[in-house]
Chains A and B, each alone.
Chain A
Amino acid sequence: MALAWLLAIPLAGAAATGAARRRAWMEFIYCLGAGAALAASAFLAAAVLSGGPVSFLNGFLYADALSALVTLLTCAVWAFSAPYTVGYLRGAQPAGAPARLGIRELRLYYALSHLFVFTLLGVSLTGNLGIMWVALEGATLASVFLVAFYGKPTSLEAAWKYAIIGGVGLSMALFGTILTYYAAFEGTGMETWEALNWPFLIAAAPSFNPLVMRLAFILVLLGYGAKAGLAPMHTWKPDAYSEAPAPAAAMMATAMLNCALYGLGRFFLLSARATGPGMPSKLLIVFGILSIAIATPFILVQKSYRRLLAYSSIEHCGIITLSIGFGGPLGSLGAVLHMAFHSLAKPLLFFSAGNAQQHTGDDSLRNTAGGLVHALPWSGAALFAAVLAVTGTPPFPLFLSEFTMLRAGFAQGHAWASITAVILLVLIFSGMFGHAARLLLGPVPDLPAGDRNRWTVYPLAVLSVVLLVLAFWIPAPLSSLLAQAASLLEVKP
């Protein structure tokens, strides 16, 4: 039942936003919904920890530790981004967009954001792989308008690319899902919708036709990989992330990425059981390394910091994929940890960069005069901390997860992949660090003092504190949730 309630929160929020007449009500509904969802997802995680997987309506909705973790992360990102969204939409809008957002635009934005969260929660909370696809496609459609929100020519271009690549990618994933259903249908004779339910599938997977599952996995990897932004299907990402409003981009870069990788992980487990882990793991490793490698040069020579964040997101998508591909207890733990920490570090980066962009009206790294930290003390500091965090600098927790990932690589005999990854990560660190230094440090710029808006500053402070605390102390329930999720993501013979 808790599963249905959790899904009902954003849906009710969307309906209430549609009916709301005033800006303040919409903002209140948005923050209230986010808070309620976070509480409900924590409750769900606690229930899963204490009583094992929960399911509702014959497994139509289903949550084990892995899905509870992804759900919790989605809700956490939403909860952090909700107050920031309020502040961001009250602030100055980019050139080419209406100077002040009207009530209709706001209603569209808030209602679509609710729907976007609804579909993302649908991905992680359904036990049916077919419905999971439906939800992920829904997430794409809901977020297309978030990307096109400002209505500028460049936003439309980004939204179009996103919609077409997303649509094509997801159609491949649908083909993979159809083939999986066929394998289940042929292997077990099951012909109802329950044949796509996760517990049934994973138990029956060894009887699936390996050939069919191999093809299915390749298709799903390309499809959900495109959604997550794995190279070479990543080209929509820089455009979409730089054109969407910063909080929406943050949601896409964390919650949606998690959901797509979560779906990919489920199919990985299935095909690893059906065909043996060799081929699926290799594919994940190849795509993971490729994503990190393709992101590196673009990070090094990047001209715009919003696009920089997108390439960083491609890199992290590659890291998580690589870690799943390495496999073993360490690999899956690294993947789960990285998913969790990245979901907290990336919003910090997006929010502080969004503040900077909103204050200067430009997101160029070339035209910057530097010294942004003087004008924006809070956002500047947060941006610096976030850059350190996402590049995996100790003491930030992403160091821990990347280190776990690399250990897994060496432990599982993928030394070359690990060494390549280390080199690339160092390059990316230097690139990101250099860009951040050029942007933030330097003489006092000719800018008015910023960071006046509490709504856009407090979330940064809270997020930074949470990140730093997690570096030294992970609460016991969270750590057991992570451990359980990691063991679910591990391929067991």
Chain B
Amino acid sequence: MPLLSDPIFGQTMITLMAAIVLVLQITLVAQKSLVSSIYVFALQSFLLAAIAGTIAWFTGAGHIYMAAVLTFLLKSLLLPAILIRLVEQIRIEHEMKPLLNVPVSVVISGMLTLLAYVVAEPLQQQMSFGSPSSLGHNTLPVAVALFLIGFFLIANRRKALSQVLALLSLENGLFLAAISLTYGMPLIVELGVFFDVLVAVLVLTILVGRIREAFDSMDVTRLSRLRG
């Protein structure tokens, strides 16, 4: 069977890319520099777009191509560019100073990955594998893991901008879940989601800028005047 139409090859490639996406998520956890985190996120989004493209290729569904192209343009080019520009504009410090140190964070991420496996396993039990229509279904645990680690990242970050990045990586987990479970949400919903993500980043970056002006820092632990 020619390579590019062998579904087992497609399955292997998707699984491999999903694993790298997971490794990149853990890299985000361990990463201290803001700018490299943005690049890691861009790479992760690019791999997600590639996964979507692979699924589209093997299922021949046009709207998944659309989702792949949109992910590529929006999440791996446009959003990183916006974030990088913001970093340069307001000249923030590049160290991100997480609350927990790197080894502990990485261990927690590993545990969250296991938790994701526990959560997703019963769902996977009921899925049928091996048929051409099951392509990519086995990445569900990775999607859940991205989601959980994204949560942890938000909680573990002090800098406003790195929280935005964490939120985006969490969103990547959702995209992977959508693409692997159902081959993408219906196009119109997908478009709405993309639009919302874009607007959310714009809103948050404006907010980051204003927080920076008002507090002379992006450290959200300083945002603690409101209590009770």
Contacts and interface: CB of A to CB of B under 8 A. Distances in A.
Report A-B touching, CB under 8 Å.
yes
Interface of A: 128, 130-131, 133-134, 137-138, 141, 144-145, 148, 151-154, 156-161, 163-164, 167-168, 171, 174-175, 177-179, 181-182, 185, 192-193, 195-196, 209, 211-212, 215, 238-239, 242-243, 298, 301-303, 307
B177 A175 contact: yes
B204 A163 contact: yes
Contacts of B200: 137, 141, 163, 167
A16 to B, nearest CB: 21
Interface of B: 119, 122-123, 126, 147, 150-151, 154, 160, 163, 167, 170-171, 174, 177-178, 181-182, 185-189, 192-193, 195-196, 199-200, 203-204, 207, 210-211, 214-215, 220, 223-226, 228
Given A160-B223, A212-B123, 15 more contacts: A137-B200, A156-B223, A157-B224, A157-B225, A163-B200, A164-B163, A164-B167, A168-B154, A171-B150, A178-B174, A181-B182, A193-B186, A193-B188, A196-B186, A196-B189
Nearest to A219: B147
B171 A160 contact: no
B223 A157 contact: yes
A156 B185 CA distance: 34
Given A137-B200, A182-B181, A211-B126, A160 B225 contact: no
Given A164-B167, A178-B177, A134 B196 contact: yes
21 contacts: A131-B189, A133-B189, A134-B192, A137-B200, A141-B196, A141-B199, A144-B207, A154-B226, A156-B223, A157-B226, A160-B211, A163-B207, A171-B167, A174-B174, A175-B147, A178-B174, A179-B177, A185-B181, A193-B186, A195-B186, A302-B228
Contact of A130 (B126, B154, B167, B185): B185
B207 A156 contact: yes
Contacts of A131: 188-189, 192
B226 A239 contact: yes
Main DSSP-derived SS at the B contact region: helix
Contact of A171 (B174, B186, B225, B226): B174
Contacts of B123: 211-212, 215
A305 to B, nearest CB: 13
Contacts of A238: 226, 228
Nearest to A190: B186
Given A156-B223, A175-B147, A181-B185, A138 B196 contact: yes
A49 B141 CA distance: 46
B196 A151 contact: no
A138 B199 contact: yes
A163 B203 contact: yes
A179 B181 contact: yes
B181 A178 contact: yes
